[in-house]
DNA sequence: AAACCATATACCTATTAAGGAATATAGTTC
DNA sequence: GAACTATATTCCTTAATAGGTATATGGTTT
């Protein structure tokens, strides 16, 4: 994976927020909307951008699309995601997102992918 | 320093190469030209870009402009520069740049800023 | 199969950036 | 001060990206 391509993915705030949230576990688009409070198009397009460059994977579950970080990310990606985690803790926006995610968490399955689909089937 | 701004600086290959070389120590523009084998305008403009965003500092020494990484970079920057160093080692382009820098090194002062100016005055 | 839901895509506009050619600037040397 | 050197800036063209509105797609439910 080309280093520049990784950084291109990281140089947009919305995408940083998506990746920061994803570090906590897989999530579907509608939950991203709730956590980031951004319109569906915006979220969807940035996820598509990330997916095309291999920064995230996705899987359909019924009506929902569940996005996740790659299971075995290449070295450069792993390093940069770790670095992002390291830096994101200080930023209020990222912290607020994680707070909202946590408020959502009780409704999510503890075991399955943390998504609407899982919520529904339980 | 905003995280996104850092990544904006990192998402261009020329700038990555500049920063990779700078990790070895300060350097002037003409040496960057020799190491990267890129035209002066290109180097100069990318250095200006980096400087404006605080990723590098510069100081005039006679006719030469000596660029360097900031003495005390903010946490996020330090983390990302370290990460870059960690990743760059595998990339042939970065390695080749460092090899060219080393070939230049004997001509450079061991103590002062590794630049033409220093070379001249010794 | 029709209505419905979550998500993706197409199309548009505005902004940003990259690269090159030519020229300007700041400092040095004679 | 005139010629010279290293570097910066201006101007241009081209390409990429962000964001929004509207619409399409794929799967589900009734």
Q: B115 falls in which pLDDT band (50, 70, 90)?
A: low
* CATH number where B54 lies: 1.10.10.10
| Residue A111 scores a pLDDT above 90 | no
Query: Among A93, A91, A66, A70, which residue's Cα sits nearest to residue A80?
Result: A70
For residue A88, give every residue at least 6 positions away whose Cβ sits within 8 Å of its Cβ, in sequence order, or none: A16, A20, A94, B3
Please give the residue range of the domain that contains residue B22: 3-121
For residue B60, give every residue at least 6 positions away whose Cβ sits within 8 Å of its Cβ, in sequence order, or none: B66
Least confident of A42-46, A111-115, B37-41: A111-115
| Residue A85 scores a pLDDT above 50 | yes
Better pLDDT: A62 or A114? A62
Chain-wide mean pLDDT for chain A? 90
For chain B, the domain total comes to 1
**Is residue A31 in some structural domain?**
yes
| Residue B120 scores a pLDDT above 50 | no
Q: Exposed, middle or buried by CB within 10 Å (0-12, 13-18, 19+), for A12?
A: middle
- B window 32-71: Cβ near strand C (< 7 A): 39, 41-42, 45-46, 49, 60, 62-63
Instruction: Give the model's pLDDT for residue A110.
Output: 46
| Residue B117 scores a pLDDT above 60 | no
* DSSP H or E run through A11: none
**CA–CA distance, B1 with B77 (Å, rounded to integer):** 8
Contacts of A90 in chain B (CB under 8 A): 75-76
Mean pLDDT value across residues B77-105: 95
| Residue B19 scores a pLDDT above 70 | yes
């Amino acid at each position: 994976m080309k280093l520049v391509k990784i950084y291109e993915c990281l140089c947009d705030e919305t995408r940083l927020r998506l990746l920061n949230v994803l570090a906590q576990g897989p999530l579907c688009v509608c939950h991203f909307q709730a956590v980031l409070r951004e319109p569906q198009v915006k979220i969807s397009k940035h996820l598509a951008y990330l997916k095309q460059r291999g920064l995230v994977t996705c899987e359909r579950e019924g009506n929902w699309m569940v996005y996740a970080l790659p299971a075995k990310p290449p070295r450069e990606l792993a390093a940069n995601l770790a670095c992002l985690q390291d830096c994101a803790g200080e930023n209020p926006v990222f912290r607020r997102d994680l707070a909202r995610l946590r408020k959502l968490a009780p409704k999510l399955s503890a075991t399955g992918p943390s998504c609407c689909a899982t919520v529904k089937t339980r």
